[in-house]
């Protein structure tokens, strides 16, 4: 099964919701009038694209239809999808060696699962990986990460609950160096209700990495749960204030009927989606492809759907 087919299969809820509404609108539209654009606006907002981004997208579509003399709803849908693909872009994460990958996000979004899947993915392409349990605040966080480390068959560095996260990261760096690891993946605590503390913690971790592992390329990826809708945009805004984010991992796409939050985050915050999670299996974290993603959500007659 190709990536597009896999995403399409996993996003059946999205397709029933968004693509189904797009199909109905396309079939019932005889001219691209204000009613058409109003209905399209409603569909995009319901898909979690957000008011600001939706308004900009619909305005651009109006101009595109006028400029390119598009008169059919099918043509308008293809033009809409091209606009959305252009907004999203496909920017795969460039792996380096050595590299430190800080995984950030609130509890419950799928951070631990994403780390396990990333470790598996990197190991599959021949990278030496070490995990680091830097979330010492949440009970059982390191235990959960240990399960994933065992599944991925990679070493894990951890301390007891309540330990200083920066100290755990320090240990992780020493192990990564000793094992000549390519990638050190660090779990971090996600306590949005105490932004100042979170900021201090992340800064301290960054200082340790800079001091102890200056040769490593450091990237921070924010994990967002696709089912949280516009709340995901708020989380991304807050975390962007406290950390230098390199992009997002969008999880639980198989559990949402929407998925448009990724478009809002990319458009409003400029954060590219690096990976998407479409299930519980180890290989269900996939590099993001804008065309596959937009085609899977919005349906239509693009080449992949033939």
Looking at per-residue pLDDT, the higher value among 303 and 12 belongs to 12
Instruction: State mean pLDDT over 43-58.
Output: 94
Q: How high is the pLDDT of residue 238?
A: 87
Does 160 share its domain with 181? yes
pLDDT digits (tens, 9 = 90+) for 114-144: 999 999 999 999 999 999 999 888 778 889 9
Tokens standing for residue 227 = 């089912």
Whether residue 16 is predicted with pLDDT greater than 90 in this model: the reply is no
- Whether residues 54 and 125 fall in one domain: no
pLDDT average, residue stretch 141-158: 93
Is 66 a residue whose pLDDT tops 90? yes
56, pLDDT greater than 90:
yes
Query: What's the confidence (pLDDT) of residue 130?
Result: 98
Q: Give tens-digit pLDDT for 69-84.
A: 999 999 999 999 999 9
What separation in angstroms does the CA of 156 have from each of 106, 132, 160? Answer: 21, 6, 13
Shared-domain flag, residues 44 and 128: no
Q: Which residue has the higher pLDDT, 4 or 174?
A: 174
The mean pLDDT value of the chain amounts to: 88
Same domain, 178 and 36: no
* Confidence band, pLDDT 50/70/90 cuts, at residue 305: very low
Residues 116 and 140 in one domain: yes
Give residue 306's pLDDT: 36
Digit-coded pLDDT (tens) for 83-125 = 999 999 989 899 999 999 999 998 888 899 999 999 999 999 9
Asked if 273 and 199 sit in the same domain, the reply is yes
CB 119 within 8 A of CB 171: no
Res 298: pLDDT: 86
Query: Which of 72-76, 216-220, 301-305 is predicted with the least confidence, judged by mean pLDDT?
Result: 301-305
Write out pLDDT tens, residues 222-264.
999 988 888 888 889 988 888 889 999 999 877 665 788 899 9
Q: Which domain holds residue 50?
A: 3-90+296-305
Indicate whether 114 and 22 sit together in one domain: no
Q: What is the mean pLDDT of residues 58-63?
A: 97
As a whole number, mean pLDDT of residues 11-39 equals 84
What pLDDT is recorded for position 18? 84
**Pair 282, 233 in one domain:** yes
Same domain for 76 and 10, yes or no, is yes
Residue 304: the pLDDT is 41
Q: Residue 28 CB: number of other CB atoms within 10 A?
A: 11
Question: 180 and 243 share a domain?
Answer: yes
- CA 259 – CA 253 distance, rounded (Å): 7
Question: b/e map of 254-274 (b: 16 or more CB within 10 Å)?
Answer: bebbbbbbbbbbbbebebbbb
Phi, psi values for residue 257, rounded to 5°:
-100, 10
Q: Both 159 and 11 in a single domain?
A: no
Q: How are beta strands 273-277 and 285-287 bridged, if at all?
A: antiparallel
Q: Specify the pLDDT at position 217.
A: 97
- Tell me which range, 14-18, 84-88, 287-291, is most confidently predicted by mean pLDDT: 84-88
CATH number of the domain where residue 59 is located: 1.20.120.140
Instruction: State the total domains in the chain.
Output: 2
pLDDT value for 302: 46
How far are the Cα atoms of 7, 47, 151, 295 from residue 222, in angstroms, in the given order?
Answer: 21, 21, 23, 24
Q: Is 140 left (phi over 0), alpha (psi -120 to 50) or beta?
A: left
* One domain, residues 67 and 105: no
CATH number at residue 194: 3.40.50.300
Identify which has the larger pLDDT, 3 or 107: 107
- Gap between the Cα atoms of 172 and 161, Å rounded: 16
pTM (whole model) above 0.85: yes
């Amino acid at each position: 099964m190709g990536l597009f087919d896999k995403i399409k299969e996993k996003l059946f809820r999205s397709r029933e919701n968004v693509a189904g509404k797009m199909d109905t609108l396309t079939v019932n539209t005889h001219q691209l009038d204000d009613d058409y654009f109003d209905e399209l606006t409603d569909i995009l907002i319901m898909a979690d694209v957000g008011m600001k981004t939706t308004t900009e997208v619909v305005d651009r579509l109006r101009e595109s239809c006028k400029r390119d003399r598009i008169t059919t709803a099918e043509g308008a849908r293809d033009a809409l999808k091209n606009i959305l693909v252009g907004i999203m872009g496909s920017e795969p994460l460039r792996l380096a060696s050595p590299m430190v990958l800080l995984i950030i996000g609130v509890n419950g979004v799928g951070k631990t699962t994403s780390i396990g899947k990333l470790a598996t993915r990197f190991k599959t392409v021949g990278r030496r990986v070490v995990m680091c349990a830097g979330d010492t605040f949440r009970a059982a966080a390191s235990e959960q990460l240990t399960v994933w480390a065992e599944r991925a068959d990679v070493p894990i560095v951890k301390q007891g609950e309540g330990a200083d996260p920066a100290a755990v990261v320090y240990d992780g760096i020493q192990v990564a160096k000793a094992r000549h690891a390519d990638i050190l993946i660090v779990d971090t605590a996600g306590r949005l209700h105490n932004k100042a503390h979170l900021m201090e913690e992340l800064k301290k971790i960054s200082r340790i990495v800079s001091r102890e592992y200056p040769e490593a390329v450091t990237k921070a990826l924010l994990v967002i749960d696709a089912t949280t809708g516009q709340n995901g945009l708020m989380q991304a805004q807050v975390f962007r204030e406290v950390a230098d984010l390199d992009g997002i991992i969008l999880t639980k796409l198989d559990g949402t009927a929407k998925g448009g939050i990724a478009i809002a985050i990319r458009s409003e915050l400029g954060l590219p989606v690096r990976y998407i999670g479409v299930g519980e299996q180890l290989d269900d974290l996939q590099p993001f492809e804008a065309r596959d993603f937009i085609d899977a959500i919005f349906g239509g007659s693009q080449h992949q759907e033939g």
